[in-house]
Amino acid sequence: MKQSTLKKKKKRLIFRTAMLAVMVGLIAFALISNLKDDKSVVAKGEQAPNFQLNKFGTDEVVSLDDLEGQGVMINFWATYCEPCKEEMPYMEELYSEYKDKNVEILAVNLDSTNIVVERFQERYGLSFPILHDKNGQVMDQYNVSRLPSTLFVNADGVVEEQVVGPLTLDKLDGYLNEITPET
């Protein structure tokens, strides 16, 4: 009788120890995730770091430094991101108007396969440059942890505004207006 009681106690101790280990692991994961999420995109008022990325489906390289003197919107997105899908038509709607005002929209895509992005671009009729950050180096350089994330850079290369999360048409229009160079 005592042996069966000891076996039960030993099993309970092992079970409780395992549960405690799992709980400690989950707490550690939550803490690390929160610390990682606290990394924010390049801050308002900072110089936007230069990068060079290829346009999707071409060998053409776009460099942020080449756009000096223009306002630039940098949008980090992926085809699997539902809020990204919602804001893309707004970007397309305003693109030609602001392109004429010397503002460029750069959509930095984080998907790994070209065909998915090409289909997305065709489906939404996107005419602004889609840049491929296949290895996530620009995403890391800008400390982007959530999608969509958007930076609005003025003609001097300084970040005027940063937005983490989706943009409405009105907000997008207002932010693009803020980075329009004075003529």
Percent of the chain with pLDDT over 90: 67
- My answer on whether 67 and 120 are in the same domain is yes
Q: What is the pTM of this model?
A: 0.77
Q: In this structure, which amino acid lies at residue 127?
A: S
pLDDT at 10: 84
Tell me: the pLDDT tens digits for 31-86? 665 554 444 568 889 999 999 999 988 889 999 999 999 999 999 999 999 999 99
- My answer on whether 13 and 59 are in the same domain is no
pLDDT at 113: 83
Range(s) of the domain holding residue 19: 1-38
Structure tokens at 133: 């950050």
Q: Is residue 113 part of a domain?
A: yes
- Who contacts 22 (Cβ-Cβ below 8 Å, separation ≥6)? none
- My answer on whether 5 and 88 are in the same domain is no
Look up the CATH number of the domain holding residue 94.
3.40.30.10
Q: In this structure, which amino acid lies at residue 181?
A: P
Q: Is residue 183 part of a domain?
A: no
Q: Is residue 45 part of a domain?
A: no
Tell me: the pLDDT tens digits for 95-104? 999 999 999 9
Q: In the predicted model, is pLDDT for residue 164 greater than 60? A: yes
pLDDT at 14: 86
- My answer on whether 25 and 63 are in the same domain is no
Structure tokens at 72: 């630039």
Instruction: State the pairing for strand pair 61-63/130-132.
Output: unpaired
Instruction: Report CA dihedral (34, 39, 43, 46) to the nearest 10 degrees.
Output: 160
| CA distance linking residue 2 with residue 27, whole number of Å | 37
- My answer on whether 33 and 59 are in the same domain is no
Q: Is 162 exposed, middle or buried (0-12, 13-18, 19+ CB in 10 A)?
A: buried
The total of structural domains in the chain comes to 2
The rounded mean pLDDT for the chain is 89
- My answer on whether 91 and 15 are in the same domain is no
Q: In the predicted model, is pLDDT for residue 175 greater than 50? A: yes
- My answer on whether 22 and 110 are in the same domain is no
- My answer on whether 162 and 108 are in the same domain is yes
